[in-house]
Amino acid sequence: MLPFQPSRPAVGLIAALLLLAAVWEGEPPKARAQSHHDFPSFRYVFDAMWGSKGQGLNQVNGPQGICVSPDGRVFIADTGNDRILVWGENGNPVTSYGSFGTRADWQDPPQFDHPMAVLVDGQGRIFVADTLNDRVVQLDSNGMVVQSWGSLGQGKGEFNQPRALAEDHFGGLWVLDMNNSRVEVFGPDGGFRYSWGTFGTTPNPSDAEMNLPRGMALNSIDQAVVADSGNFRMEVFDNRAVPVTIQGWYGEKGPYEFKDMGSVAVTPVGVAAIADGTSGRVMFYNSRDGLYEYLGRWRAKDEIVSPAFQPKFRGIASDPENRIYVTDIHDNVILRLKPLQPFTPVAPAATPTSKPESPYSGQDFPLQR
């Protein structure tokens, strides 16, 4: 595989693209003073780029969510084309599911209205956040509808623009309900379990306050790492909605500064990565005693030189090799970053539960409601 594999239209878009030697800009002096530790061995570098604007199988239109299936395929919420794209790990197109509309009939091809998130779970089931239809749609391995649930509202099982999806270790499906500033949790069959979160702007250590959150991912002990976009901060909650940490403010220089937060991913080794849209950055964090300390960042302008390339990152995902995939809704491309060398972060602080309370007793999983 060549280190850079754009499609032909992408070459035209960024003809002056220059892939520099792997350069990692360390934290500026002010940021170093705010960070708990330095991790000179932690580095991500540019690896590959695919796509251009259009409706072909190798093209996208305002892609938002992205995930990597257990078998390594890349699923993309091709939002502007109202479909889900499936690519191989090296950007080769495989198939697509969906078209514009409101139908979601069993065993029929799905219809979507601006889908913004996609999740493939450990059993190969495909879940789509059909954002402007205010619902979740489940597909089978052939892309046909299995079931759907949700409608516009604030009640149990209702949504106002669902924006992110995640699966916990109990098989529950977590849905980030953006405009309701909350998280709803459902069983594998789509049955409502519980919800938490409310609109707010204060860093309240005893409440789950959010402001139009765009991204969410779960770590190895089912802590939810949330991109609280409207508040320009990262929030981490356990699955009882108890805040673990709240970090962040507006900006693009410091280790906890965010300008245009998109989605969140947690790599297999446990690094939390946040896509920060118009700043063209991916921010990396490590959990140490619940602090989620800053590890470093990758910036497009450090490795990609082109006046035409002005990224606006939105979706982010990790594959089994800890590589990072990022969607760019401005340039209509998918980027892949790779770790320069292996890195093992500190494990998140454990919150074990007793055997009667949890089927995962002894494995440090928090209490499931």
If pLDDT is split at 50, 70 and 90, which confidence band does 205 have?
low
pLDDT at 36: 37
pLDDT tens, position by position, 66-101: 999 999 999 999 999 999 999 999 999 999 999 999
Task: Please list, in sequence order, all residues whose beta carbon lies within 8 angstroms of the beta carbon of residue 334, skipping any fewer than 6 positions away.
Answer: 49, 50, 51, 60, 63, 66, 74, 76, 87, 91, 325, 326, 327, 328
Residue 223 and residue 237 in contact, taking contact as beta carbons nearer than 8 Å: yes
In a domain, 292, yes or no: yes
In a domain, 25, yes or no: yes
Least confident of 154-168, 210-224, 234-248, 261-275: 234-248
Angstrom distance (rounded) from CA 129 to CA 207? 26
Both tokens assigned to 13? 């878009």
DSSP string, 153-168: SSSTT-BSSEEEEEE-
pLDDT at 287: 75
Q: Which of 247, 209, 246, 304 is nearest to 31 (CA)?
A: 247
Looking up residue 75, the CATH number of its domain turns out to be 2.120.10.30
If pLDDT is split at 50, 70 and 90, which confidence band does 33 have?
very low
* Structural domain range at position 60: 8-339
Q: What's this model's pTM, rounded to 2 decimal places?
A: 0.84
Is a pLDDT exceeding 90 seen at residue 348? no
Residue 351 and residue 360 in contact, taking contact as beta carbons nearer than 8 Å: no
Q: How many domains does the chain have?
A: 1
pLDDT at 28: 31
In a domain, 346, yes or no: no
Task: Please list, in sequence order, all residues whose beta carbon lies within 8 angstroms of the beta carbon of residue 51, skipping any fewer than 6 positions away.
Answer: 6, 7, 10, 58, 59, 60, 63, 91, 332, 333, 334
Integer-rounded Cα radius of gyration of the chain: 19
Is a pLDDT exceeding 90 seen at residue 1? no
In a domain, 349, yes or no: no
CA dihedral 73, 305, 259, 269 (to 10 degrees): 40
Both tokens assigned to 160? 């106002």
pLDDT tens, position by position, 260-317: 999 999 999 889 999 999 999 999 998 765 678 899 999 998 888 676 788 999 999 9
| Phi-psi map region of 133: left, alpha, beta (phi>0 left; psi -120 to 50 alpha) | alpha
pLDDT tens, position by position, 123-182: 899 999 999 999 999 999 999 999 999 999 999 999 999 999 999 988 999 999 999 999
User: What b/e readout covers 284-293, taking b as 16+ CB neighbours within 10 angstroms?
Assistant: bbbbeeebbb
pLDDT at 101: 98
In a domain, 345, yes or no: no
CA dihedral 139, 133, 317, 17 (to 10 degrees): 120
pLDDT at 18: 30
In a domain, 347, yes or no: no
In a domain, 348, yes or no: no
- State the average pLDDT over residues 181-197: 93
Higher pLDDT, residue 30 or 63 = 63
Residue 156 and residue 192 in contact, taking contact as beta carbons nearer than 8 Å: yes
In a domain, 287, yes or no: yes
